[in-house]
Amino acid sequence: MKQNESTVTEFILAGFMVHPDLQVPLFLLFLIIYVATIIGNLGIIIVTSVDAQLQTPMYFFLRNLSIIDIGYSTAIAPKLLTTFLAEKTTISFKGCAVQFFFFAVFITTEGCLLAVMAYDRFTAICNPLLYFAIMSRKHCTILVVVAYACGLTSSILQTSFIFTLSFCSSNIINHFFCDVPPILKLSCSDTHVTHTVHFILSTIIGLTTFLIVLVSYIAILFAILRISSAQGRYKAFSTCASHLTTVTIFFGTIIFMYIRPGSTFSIDQDKIVSVFYSLMISFLNPLIYSLRNKDVKDAFGRTIEKATFFK
């Protein structure tokens, strides 16, 4: 675990400090959540890819959101599941860096993509006649690429600053995955610069994307209020309901977790919140978009009918 009295070569993931009797039920619970996440998001990807009526910018972004959800839940869930089965769950130093890198890429990209989707809804409701001209396939692709570029840039910077620190004392991460606060607590280097970089990047990206969402929905609200008929207002709002639900859950938990000084963290309490944004959001998104979206429900029905017909 240590080499030449100084270098930590692996970490131990503490996971959840729970009664042994709860290990198996929790393992089954998180296994069900992870499997349902993969199936649900794969379903969204397939349906939005093959159904002719869902070949619009909104569902192009939704398909990418599902890809991202699969990505960051897969970065976390498999290792989490092992913490319930093994007496001691270890992860190599490089493995920890890789896990954090991919998690940071996908979680940041998701925030950026949710902002892009808010802009899409703003364009659809506030500029309906120019919607398909503005949100062309090329423009949509560029927006998705920019979202990934932001996630990749932020992740490279944070991973570089965190995993070039010295770790020479305890190697027990009081968490179920390699996240920033518990890792920095183990470093025997001066972590002030790393804390500052993490806080600045999280704040800039988090607040920028949040403001884009906020401004978009303020404009959408005024546009909806100008619609004369109640049915028209309901129809306009219904196109935003799923996205608004996802945005509220995502930004609520992320702002609570990251956009605050590191000294205010309580690791044991934050584990529960971490479960929510690292696993539950990616599990809930397919449910939100399928249960609250008539187009997606109808598309699922058509896809199942086609699959049954060709059997």
Q: Torsion angle, CA of 154/77/81/158, rounded to 10 degrees?
A: 0
Dist. CA 158–CA 152, nearest whole Å = 10
Give the whole-number percent of the chain exceeding pLDDT 90.
40
- The secondary structure of residue 2, as a DSSP letter, is E
Q: Is the pLDDT of residue 5 over 50?
A: no
The one-letter code for the residue type at 10 is: E
Q: Is the pLDDT of residue 273 over 70?
A: yes
Q: What is the pTM of this model?
A: 0.87
- Pairing type for strands 10-13 and 2-3 reads unpaired
Q: Is the pLDDT of residue 1 over 60?
A: no
Identify the pLDDT of residue 89. Answer: 83
Over residues 28-47, the pLDDT tens digits come to 999 999 999 999 999 999 88
Using DSSP's 3-state secondary structure scheme, residue 13 falls into strand
Identify the pLDDT of residue 26. Answer: 85
Over residues 96-146, the pLDDT tens digits come to 999 999 999 999 999 999 999 999 999 999 998 999 999 999 999 999 999
Identify the pLDDT of residue 9. Answer: 82
For the record, the structure tokens of 162 come out as 């965190």
State whether CATH 1.10.540.10 applies to domain 2-309: no
More confident residue, 202 or 36: 36
Dist. CA 264–CA 257, nearest whole Å = 10
Identify the pLDDT of residue 4. Answer: 42
Q: pLDDT-based confidence at 203, cuts 50/70/90? A: confident
